[in-house]
A = this chain, B = another copy of it.
């Protein structure tokens, strides 16, 4: 059996409540007794039982992070930002991979929070079809923070970045380099970010008096493979684009592969811009010109907001953060 608080109490010659006071630094305790208790704790290598503690405290001090897939490189910086913040605040972090399973989402959220597995939840990048579930959860008062998904409803805490401006920066960069036939690879259009970036692309072209050609818009789903395929499609056009803006870096990397396989080179034959600035963007050759989202900061802010809410209860004002993005010029455009 594992060592319990009774064992520590016995060894230290005090009551269980005193041990509890000492290890939780609550209430006044004679320094002498405290020392004896710590001594016993060390000697027995006592570790308070997490379940027992959570049960009586009615909180777990852990936050859940729900996203499609932890192992997707896109989430790296968001995760690091969240992790740093939760760690600093003394919270544990546990991951929930949804694998896009819309049907299971509602149950997952409920079982996580209502089942007392976590005190609150951070949800990243949810599908537009999740709308009603999300609204219901918020209406119930469940402590939830959203990243990359916003609602006009002011009661919903969320942090998003400026996707439209991001797309504009990308397109204008290519325009300034002299490109006029600029292809676009969409993300999965069931996601808010994908839609906003597409809108940004279209609006920017229009503003510069360039007609939008449907054949220059290829549909992807944010995955590497779809970027590769979309690029092949664009390359097969009678008049292929001289530049391509992909809705995320993974697809941009896929596009670069397709360009290379076609015997063409980046940026000489085709310029490529990505989106996100994931770690890999600067690791591939040529290094990717891209739009940087402040992913680490977004994670940190979402975590911070949730933690505040957890500490102060519902009286905390729900926050809405709208973060700026920036163009990062590297090698894939020949700039």
* Closest partner residue, chain B, to A97 (CB atom): B83
Task: Among B71, B115, B285, point to the contact of A50 (Cβ < 8 A).
Answer: B115
Task: Assess whether A257 is in contact with B280, with CB atoms less than 8 Å apart.
Answer: no
Task: Assess whether A51 is in contact with B60, with CB atoms less than 8 Å apart.
Answer: yes
A253 close to B (CB within 8 Å): yes
Q: How far is the CB of A253 from chain B (nearest CB, A)?
A: 6
Task: Assess whether A47 is in contact with B115, with CB atoms less than 8 Å apart.
Answer: yes
* Closest partner residue, chain B, to A72 (CB atom): B76
* Closest partner residue, chain B, to A56 (CB atom): B51
Q: How far is the CB of A62 from chain B (nearest CB, A)?
A: 9
Q: How far is the CB of A78 from chain B (nearest CB, A)?
A: 9
- From 59 to 95 in chain A, residues with beta carbon under 8 angstroms from any chain B beta carbon are 60, 70-71, 73, 75-76, 79-80, 83, 94-95
Most B Cβ at <10 Å: residue of A2, A3, A71, A94 = A71
Task: Assess whether A116 is in contact with B49, with CB atoms less than 8 Å apart.
Answer: yes
A52 and B55 contact, Cβ closer than 8 Å, known pairs A94-B95, A224-B283, A286-B260: yes
Name the B residues within 8 Å of A115 (CB-CB).
47-50
Task: Assess whether A76 is in contact with B71, with CB atoms less than 8 Å apart.
Answer: yes
Task: Assess whether A110 is in contact with B285, with CB atoms less than 8 Å apart.
Answer: no
Task: Assess whether B285 is in contact with A2, with CB atoms less than 8 Å apart.
Answer: no
* Closest partner residue, chain B, to A253 (CB atom): B283
Q: How far is the CB of A10 from chain B (nearest CB, A)?
A: 18
A189 close to B (CB within 8 Å): no
Name the B residues within 8 Å of A183 (CB-CB).
none
CA distance A144 to B253 in the complex (A): 39
A308 close to B (CB within 8 Å): no
Name the B residues within 8 Å of A47 (CB-CB).
110-111, 114-116
Interface range on chain A (Cβ under 8 Å from partner): 35 or more
Q: How far is the CB of A259 from chain B (nearest CB, A)?
A: 8
A329 close to B (CB within 8 Å): no
Task: Assess whether A2 is in contact with B114, with CB atoms less than 8 Å apart.
Answer: yes
CA distance A115 to B75 in the complex (A): 29
Task: Assess whether A71 is in contact with B80, with CB atoms less than 8 Å apart.
Answer: yes
Name the B residues within 8 Å of A283 (CB-CB).
224, 250, 253-254, 257
Task: Assess whether A70 is in contact with B70, with CB atoms less than 8 Å apart.
Answer: yes
A51 and B54 contact, Cβ closer than 8 Å, known pairs A70-B79, A284-B253: yes
Q: How far is the CB of A60 from chain B (nearest CB, A)?
A: 7
A185 close to B (CB within 8 Å): no
A117 close to B (CB within 8 Å): yes
Closest 6 CB pairs of A and B: A71-B76, A47-B115, A51-B54, A260-B285, A47-B114, A51-B55
Listed A/B pairs (26) with beta-carbon separation below 8 Å: A2-B114, A3-B114, A47-B110, A47-B111, A48-B115, A49-B116, A50-B115, A51-B55, A51-B60, A55-B55, A70-B70, A70-B79, A71-B73, A71-B75, A71-B79, A83-B97, A94-B95, A224-B283, A250-B283, A253-B283, A253-B284, A256-B285, A257-B283, A260-B285, A260-B286, A261-B285
